[in-house]
């Protein structure tokens, strides 16, 4: 597939609490064909760890 499915952009950043739900969201994006771009970023909001992961659709051609 040369473009992401369902009209998704080629660059995405997923964010959320560092939990199973977030990990599943990233895993689903990888299963669609996205690739992680760089390392995840982590911060603490005073109650929980929040994580962000950039994802890129692989270049074609």
Range of the domain at 27: 10-56
Q: Is residue 48 part of a domain?
A: yes
Q: With CA atoms as reference, report the closest residue to 18 among 10, 26, 8.
A: 26
Q: Is residue 2 part of a domain?
A: no
| pLDDT level of residue 44 (50, 70, 90 thresholds) | very high
Q: With CA atoms as reference, report the closest residue to 16 among 6, 26, 8, 7.
A: 26
% helix / strand / coil in the chain, to the nearest 5?
25, 35, 40
Q: Is residue 15 part of a domain?
A: yes
Q: Is residue 1 part of a domain?
A: no
Please state the pTM of the whole predicted model: 0.88
Is 22:51 a contact under the CB 8 Å cutoff? yes
Digit-coded pLDDT (tens) for 2-20: 899 999 999 999 999 999 9
Q: Is residue 5 part of a domain?
A: no
Q: Is residue 4 part of a domain?
A: no
Q: Is residue 3 part of a domain?
A: no
| Helix, coil or strand: residue 15 | strand
Provide the domain count of the chain.
1
């Amino acid at each position: 597939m040369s473009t992401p499915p369902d009209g998704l952009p080629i660059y995405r950043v997923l964010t959320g609490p560092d939990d199973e739900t977030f990990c599943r969201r990233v895993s689903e994006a990888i299963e669609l064909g996205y690739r992680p771009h760089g390392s995840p970023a982590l911060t603490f909001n005073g109650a929980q760890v929040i994580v962000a992961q950039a994802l890129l659709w692989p270049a074609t051609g």
